[in-house]
Amino acid sequence: MANVAVIGSQWGDEGKGKIVDWLSSRSDVVVRFQGGHNAGHTLVIDGVTYKLSLLPSGIVRGGKISIIGNGVVIDPWALAKEIQYITDLGIMVSPESLKIAENATLILPLHQRLDSLREGLSGDDKIGTTKRGIGPAYEDKVGRRAIRVTDLANEKTLVNKVNKLVNHHNIVLRGMGEKELNPSDVLKELIAITDKILPYMARVSIILSEARKAGKRILFEGAQGVMLDVDHGTYPFVTSSNTISPTALSGVGQNLKALNFVLGITKAYTTRVGEGPFPTEQENETGEELGKKGHEFGTNTGRKRRCGWIDTVMVRHAIEVGGIDGIALTKLDVLDGFETIKICVGYKLNGKVIDYFPIASEDQFNVIPIYEDIKGWSDSTYGARSWNELPAEAIKYVKRLEELIGCSVSLLSTSPERDDTILVKDPFED
Ligand code: GDP
Ligand code: IMO
Ligand code: MG
């Protein structure tokens, strides 16, 4: 029996949703363990597109259990809206198929407001967040004043906690010269949404332990990517959670033995949304072409994604700190038609060649990529479902990447469609 975690190995949007959906046919339980509705995971099944933010990507397959773990920050209004959205698309969501951890932290409208206010006040120093309130909600969690899912079940506790939380935030709002909050308004809003959330509340950690004992397979679905990890990414231009694989366990209440294989999702080039360093960014025709062919617009915010060549120094860093055992290489088809493809194989920093991803933010901004040129291919790889359909140059590109990152390709994706996927080595059987 093997359990698999899927994490992003770049700055998010690598195609995790598509791969989780594909892998979910081989698993029984799909569980989200960090992040919140800052994520945007796209699934395309028989021409129908599903855009998920909070719901695990396994929700679209019948007969699977979808779980939102304690490590996720949940905006109850966003969740209720997403449940409605997916129900309208003909997917059944019930307390049997969806379970939400009692100890997950809630995102409230005040977090969203604070996120937007801060971004607005930061000028050139802004992070370019999704303005979903993710950072402020995680701050309240570690500040030990957050409201959790279980608090919705006890009005007396909720009143106390809302009062404390609002007191804290009013000090901040006052300092910013902003209108203060009325605790009874915050309470009223929360009470009004309670019925939409509580039916799904469950003892997630226990459910997962029982699933393991029964020999069921668990698929852990990460959000964002290692380069957005609050410790190991391009800090401070990161999200507010750990996105590396151990979070799959702490974020659902499981121990180290519950995870057997970590699949890193890697785009065949690189994209980033928001501010921050991006060594291989192409602010030129190449970047435009990658963005156009790859439809690189945020799933959630619609923002144009910054585009550039693949950076194997960075992916190697992600593989090391992320604990990645194999990768799923996505969007290979987007490189079709490029005469030459560049791979970043090292950096120059202050005149010296380095082969690692530096930690200091100024160094991350200052590194100059060293490229290796690879001959492109003119034939199409779009929709390929076997190695035989790939041009020789495309195979060479994949092989060279494997060599440089020191990790094998387990899956290869050649279009947004679920089944346009080449299985090289099954992560569940590894
Ligand atoms: P996630 O956040 O990692 O789940 O990725 P997103 O869904 O935000 O962005 C990935 C985008 O690429 C989505 O629009 C997917 O439908 C699309 N996609 C995924 N895999 C492939 C692929 O192999 N080829 C192409 N052309 N598009 C893909
Ligand atoms: P998925 O799961 C890409 C980025 C934001 C911003 C930074 C901080 O779809 O890959 P936040 O709102 O989290 O405080 O924003 O992180 N970001 C993402 N970029 N994909 C995501 O998720 C992202 N989630 C957050 O653009 O730069
Ligand atoms: Mg996304």
**Dihedral pair phi/psi, residue 161, rounded to 5°:** -70, -40
Higher pLDDT, 2 or 358: 358
Q: Which residues contact 224 (CB under 8 A, 6 or more apart)?
A: 8, 11, 12, 34, 35, 38, 39, 239, 241, 243
pLDDT score, position 298: 85
Q: Which atom of ligand 1 is nearest to the CA of 18?
A: 19
pLDDT score, position 216: 97
Q: Which residues contact 89 (CB under 8 A, 6 or more apart)?
A: 48, 50
In the residue annotation, 168 being an active-site residue is answered as: no
- Confidence band for 193, pLDDT divided at 50, 70 and 90: very high
* 386 and 317 together in one domain: yes
Q: Which two tokens stand for residue 69?
A: 């773990």
In the residue annotation, 333 being an active-site residue is answered as: no
Local structure of 354: helix, strand or coil: strand
Paired with 348 in beta bridges are 353, 368
Which strand (E) or helix (H) includes residue 345? strand 340-349
pLDDT score, position 430: 76
Q: How does DSSP classify residue 163?
A: H
pTM for this model (two decimals): 0.98
* 269 and 375 together in one domain: yes
Q: Which two tokens stand for residue 247?
A: 């979070």
- Report the alpha-carbon distance of residue 244 to residue 196 in Å, rounded: 31
Segment 85-108 mean pLDDT: 97
Local structure of 32: helix, strand or coil: strand
**Could you tell me what percent of the chain has a pLDDT over 70?**
100
Segment 31-56 mean pLDDT: 97
CA dist list (Å): 314 to 9, 72, 139, 364: 8, 26, 28, 10
How many A from CA of 228 to the centre of ligand 2? 7
pLDDT score, position 62: 87
Q: Domain limits at 242?
A: 27-102+202-261
- Report the alpha-carbon distance of residue 160 to residue 162 in Å, rounded: 6
Q: Which atom of ligand 2 is nearest to the CA of 13?
A: 10
Kindly report the protein residue whose alpha carbon is nearest to atom 12 of ligand 1: 15
Residue 38 lies in a domain: yes
Nearest residue to 330 (alpha-carbon basis) of 22, 15, 4, 5: 15
pLDDT score, position 1: 61
- Among all ligands shown, which has an atom nearest to the Cα of 303? 2
3-state helix, strand, coil in the chain (%, to 5): 40, 20, 40
Residue 18 lies in a domain: no
- Among all ligands shown, which has an atom nearest to the Cα of 228? 2
Of 246, 261, 276, the domain-final residue = 261
CATH number for the domain spanning 378: value is: 3.90.170.10
Local structure of 319: helix, strand or coil: helix
**Could you tell me what percent of the chain has a pLDDT over 90?**
97
* 77 and 225 together in one domain: yes
H-type alpha helices, 176-246: 183-197, 204-213
Give per-residue pLDDT as tens, 288-321.
999 999 999 987 788 999 999 999 999 999 999 9
Q: How many residues does the structure list for the chain? A: 430
- Report the alpha-carbon distance of residue 336 to residue 269 in Å, rounded: 12
How many domains does the chain contain in total? 3
pLDDT score, position 98: 98
Give per-residue pLDDT as tens, 254-297.
999 999 999 999 999 999 999 999 999 999 999 999 999 999 99
Give per-residue pLDDT as tens, 368-421.
999 999 999 999 999 999 999 999 999 999 999 999 999 999 999 999 999 999
Q: For residue 28, count CB atoms less than 10 angstroms from its CB and return exposed for 0-12, middle for 13-18, buried for 19 or more.
A: middle
Q: How does DSSP classify residue 247?
A: H
Segment 170-190 mean pLDDT: 97
pLDDT score, position 274: 95
Residue 34 lies in a domain: yes
pLDDT score, position 166: 98
Local structure of 88: helix, strand or coil: helix
* 271 and 321 together in one domain: yes
* 275 and 314 together in one domain: yes
How many A from CA of 424 to the centre of ligand 1? 19
- Report the alpha-carbon distance of residue 179 to residue 170 in Å, rounded: 8
